Copies of this chain bind each other. A is one copy, B any other.
Amino acid sequence: MRQSELFTKTRKTAPKDEVAKNAQLLIRAGYIHKEMAGVYSFLPLGLRVLNKINDIVREEMNAVGGQELTMSVLQNKELWEKTGRWSDEVVDNWFKTQLKNGADTSLAFTAEEPITNIMRDYLNSYADLPKLAYQIQWKYRNEERAKSGIMRGREFLMKDMYSFAGSADEHEKVYEKVAEAYVKIFQRLGIGDRTYRTFASGGVFSKYSHEFQCLSPIGEDTIYVHEGKKIAINKEVLLPEVLGDLGVTQEELVEQKAIEVGNIFSLGTRFSDALGLKFKQKDGSEAAPVMGCYGIGTSRLLGALVEVFADEKGIVWPESVAPFSAHLVAISSGNEDVIKEADRLYELLKDSGIDVLYDDRDVRAGEKFADSDLIGIPTRLVVSEKTMSEGGIERVDRQSGSTGFVQDSEVVQQLQK
């Protein structure tokens, strides 16, 4: 895409009330727009990144047998009353609203109730189990304060998967399979090496839940990392009993700040019991499916990636989610030959199936480079009088800053990988 045609532009400053680095950079670079505290719109560049994150999550959920659906945002009060979660005293971040006839409804903050209710129509027999269903849908949480940019939005996009198993054993197998899929997702997003499966408090039906915590000094959570086992313990459950369960000692652990980028939870039969979801077992008797839930807030994760990778110049995207694979920057100073050569390269890259943002604007070189750094596309390709006289293209790696001259055929080959 030609940058001159993109409707967004970079900005020198973010809104004064925006204190989070992720939102400041994303607003300045034209990825998001702040509608109000904790509520953001995704502009073309931001939507591209969000879609790429969603696609990675979707692929890995499909790979473990997840079936995608999209549930409504508006919620049926009756279902939430059955599980005791309608009351504002139980759930303190509901958004509620009313239908014209005065009936109460609300905006989904999660979806255990509706998915369990849907499954009542379809899960009848042990032969129907296990089943995994997920959605990537907007969620609404009426946070008291919303100061972490898109990392704790009041409106945010979340992949929420729910599993239904015929026994505790079957549930454990599904749970572990999804946990492995989560590891793959964070690897593909470039944060695998700093993201730890973290033991956290469970509930009535399981001793532990698991969070996926990504190390970052701005993280709101404190975790204790065991590097050898590649696991961590949330501060909330740092107890002798837990250390014993995991076979680790306090001395082996390192305290770290971290951002929660995913969580998985065994629900037991809390929701299937409350909502009357039952299936026939092999012996003809009835039982309630054992459930699990698995969340990743994909729009929040986008913010976490900015926090983790950004440097003093701006955003630095991992290749897997960058809005474009390459940022082609023409430094022409009005020289028609340079413009012609950059145009040629732009067409070549597009024809080779490479997503490229082409800075064809008539502005100073310094402004172009500053914008390119701010936007954070992994590979920058510079065409100028100088590069043409040296018979190549200057390739700049956004993350390391390393530069080198390359031929167009090399560029195409590298970026097609």
Contact = CB atoms under 8 A, between A and B. Distances in A.
Copies in the assembly, this chain: 2
Interface stretch (A42-50, A187-195, A250-258, A347-355): A42-50
Interface in A66-105: 67-76, 93, 95-100, 105
Given A73-B73, A142-B100, A123 B7 contact: yes
Given A75-B35, A122-B8, A97 B97 contact: yes
B100 A97 contact: no
A68 B119 CA distance: 34
A8 B72 CA distance: 17
A121 interface: yes
A107 interface: yes
Contacts of A121: 8-9, 11, 33
Contacts of A74: 35-36, 39, 140, 154-155
A138 interface: yes
A70 B47 contact: yes
Contacts of A224: none
Given A73-B138, A121-B11, A114 B67 contact: no
Interface string A11-40: 100000000000000000010010110011
A406 B70 CA distance: 37
Contact of A72 (B50, B97, B155): B155
B40 A133 contact: no
Interface string A150-162: 0000110000000
Contacts of A96: 97
A21 to B, nearest CB: 20
Contacts of A71: 35, 41-42
Contacts of A72: 35, 39-41, 155
A64 interface: no
Contacts of A218: none
Greatest chain B CB density within 10 A among A9, A35, A96 is at A35
A388 B46 CA distance: 53
Contacts of A343: none
A239 B30 CA distance: 48
Contact of A70 (B42, B69, B75, B142): B42
Contact of A119 (B7, B39, B75): B7
A390 interface: no
Contacts of A138: 73, 138
A123 B138 CA distance: 29
Given A39-B76, A43-B69, A74-B154, 4 more contacts: A8-B122, A33-B121, A35-B71, A100-B144
